[in-house]
Chains A and B, each alone.
Chain A
Amino acid sequence: MGDKMIAKVGKMSGVGLLALLGSTMLVSADVTVEFWHSFGGGSGEALAQIIENFEAENDGITIDAQEIGNYNDIVTKLQAAIPAQRAPDAVIMEVTRYGLFADRGVLKDLTPYVDADPLKDDLFGFAREVGVYEDKNYIVPFNSSTPVLYFNKAIFERAGLSEDTPLNTYDDLLAAAQQITDTLGDEGITGIAAPGQFARWGLIMGNDSDLIDSVSGEILLDAPNTIEAYEFMASLVHEHEVASPDGVTQENNGRDAFLAGRVGMMINSTGNYGRAASSLGDDAVVVPMPCNKVCAVPIGGAGIGILSTSDSEVQDAAYQFISFAASAESNALWFSETGYMPINQQTAQQPLAIEALAEKPGIDVAINQLDFARGRPRPPVVTWMRASEYDLWQAMALGQRDPSEVLTEFAESTRAEAERLER
């Protein structure tokens, strides 16, 4: 047993050493890494800067970065590109949706690379965990986030609400949203943006539940607390009319309306911090998510994976880039420009991060939420569940169907789909 163990450890060390050598030394010829991502605007500019820094330090490696669309678009286009043999070498994958691709062997197991990379000791625990599926590492986090609650200080003041208005429970949210709508509704200002899917997940967790248990994999769509959370969220739109239905059918409409100063509050990813600050200036205030029954928020964002079909030297070059992008220097640049959370424990010591933390109020809210942030499940069925949930949310939010009935049916169909995918 002992000999076997020693042999195994020796073998693993060998693989690790090879991977490390591969990732740091063997990329000598000119290599181009095709990299699909989802960042435009200010985030796109920050990413371009990171790529430029990487290429300056790594002669012979070119990162051909292509903005493909949002996370859903990437999943759709990637699955079409794979059979067509047009898949990229590296790709940004949302943290709950890479499991299917890992399960089907599309993503390369990065465990040897990660094990041999000193970076792993610098990553926060949550950041190491989000890339692991069935004990193997398939993605390295790049942009991590939690949902936070944004509000518009100017709208609050005009509605007679102070900056310290409690926003800790569902009732608090509703009361503030109601006051804004009642006071400023005639001007076309609504209280709160209809929650998008990430925000819905956050509000469900804050109600001491989940969609799928991240540890046991149990489907919790029909759990009483999940139903209660959906009932509350749907009531904001169709019963209390404090959230515009525009944000139900087109999720980005709610965010855009908030950024345009037409909505009092918005629950959204911390990755919107940069956009909110540039659109609303000092009026953009960030506070923690409500803790209705418990304090809990989902960890969102995405990591970079490598396609198993790429040539090995391209994979090595891709990992070098991934490691660089997660380094403290790059992460500080990314954090300060976008508001996405630091994933590297050394990030906070970087000058850019120190400056951002000192000068950008609220940028640390997501970091402070890490104490009660939870990883989310990533079995193959999550991709199906998330794609199916939009229609059902619309039915509930627009008052067309009863949440309890919808979620009971949805839970059953998700269990059936999970079984089918397992087969």
Chain B
Amino acid sequence: MLRRMTPYLFVLPLLAFIAVFTYVPIVQSMNLSVREWDFLSPTKPFVGLDNYRLLLDSREFWNALRVTAVFAIISVPLRLLLALFIATQLLRETWVSRIMRGALFLPAVTSTVAIGVVFSWVFSTDYGMMNALLKSIGLPKIAWLQEPHVALWVLIFVNTWKQLGYDIIIYIAGLQAIGPELYDAAAVDGGRKGHVFRRITVPLVMPTTYFLLMISVIEAFQVFTIVDVMTKGGPAGATDMLVNMLYRVGFNLFDIGVGSALAVLLFILLITLAVIKSRVIGRKVHYEA
């Protein structure tokens, strides 16, 4: 009996940790999503699916979903393409590439709040470095964080700048795992650089791409800190992403029921995206050369 139980006992602490900090809150959120509560009232009346109905009928929710989707669709491929390109350039073990890897990784370990504050000033319309630069070359100033179509691009830029280093390091690890004999064979056969990259590098680094895709899509849908620090979802909702809306509804407007319903919808959305990615892209991933 004890012998059979031993493995379970080993994983029990971790299971308890995950249960307390992940599974219980998920169940609790689902419960709150069908109730009306403002954090302060002693009662939490059951309201059925009213919170979901309210959310799906609101212009704000569809705007946040659209903004988040645009953010993910642009920022994820941008990150992965840039990271793969830079990783291939930094693959050689030279002192320059080592310094560059460290430099590019620095933003990934820097406080997101600090990055947000610094870039808020960099992109300030009247007092920022970017517009000072534009002015010095005779160009008109741009309302980086006040122009709805521009503000989202600024957030995409800042988020990409922050996350790129992490993606590069993971890609370098993936690229280093590709056996040099494949490149040697391609060289003997007279393979051109682009051809080798398309036919050897891209397919063999696919497991890494798949991993980064999964992670970066989840990150893109959960982006919050940069939005909160730099724009708070503004101007006028132009950068109001799902998690920012969730925070605003739950913690500023005291509607925990609707906030929880939004959290549940986000959870379902991310699970669905993960399943689709697994079905569509996962099949093309080969873990052995």
Contacts and interface: CB of A to CB of B under 8 A. Distances in A.
Contacts of A392: 236
Interface stretch (A34-42, A214-222, A382-390): A382-390
A262 interface: yes
B254 A188 contact: no
Contact of A398 (B127, B146, B233): B146
Interface in B237-289: 237, 240, 248, 251-254
Contact of B146 (A104, A249, A383, A388): A249
B40 A82 contact: yes
Contact of A100 (B40, B145, B146): B40
A86 interface: no
Contacts of B240: 391
B40 A104 contact: yes
Contacts of B162: none
Nearest to A388: B253
Contacts of A394: 234-236
Contacts of B120: 250
A393 to B, nearest CB: 9
Contact of A249 (B39, B231, B254): B231
Interface string B39-82: 11110000000000000000000000000000000000000000
Which of A100, A250, A384, A388 has its CB near the most chain B CB atoms (within 10 A)?
Answer: A250
Interface string A231-251: 000000000000011101110
Given A82-B40, A101-B40, A104-B41, A395 B253 contact: no
A22 to B, nearest CB: 26
B174 interface: no
A76 B251 contact: yes
Interface in B88-145: 120, 124-127, 143, 145
B228 to A, nearest CB: 12
A246 B126 contact: yes
Contacts of A190: 126
Interface residues of chain B: helix, strand, loop or mixed (majority): loop
Interface string A290-309: 00000000000000000000
Nearest to A250: B120
A400 B235 contact: yes
B148 interface: yes
A106 interface: yes
Contacts of A398: 143, 146-148, 235-236
Given A244-B125, A249-B145, A262-B127, A383 B236 contact: no
A136 interface: no
A248 to B, nearest CB: 6
Nearest to B131: A188
Interface string A261-294: 0100000000000000000000000000000000
Interface string A400-415: 1100000000000000
B126 A80 contact: no
Interface string A55-92: 00000000000000000100010011011000000000
A377 B120 CA distance: 34
Contacts of B237: 391, 395
A257 B252 contact: no
B251 to A, nearest CB: 5
A268 B232 CA distance: 22
Contacts of A391: 233-234, 236-237, 240
Given A245-B126, A401-B236, 14 more contacts: A82-B39, A100-B254, A188-B126, A244-B125, A244-B127, A246-B124, A249-B145, A249-B235, A250-B120, A384-B253, A387-B248, A398-B146, A400-B148, A400-B235
11 contacts: A100-B254, A105-B40, A257-B126, A262-B126, A384-B253, A384-B254, A391-B237, A391-B240, A398-B143, A398-B146, A398-B236
Shortest 4 CB-CB distances between A and B: which pairs? A395-B236, A104-B40, A245-B146, A79-B39
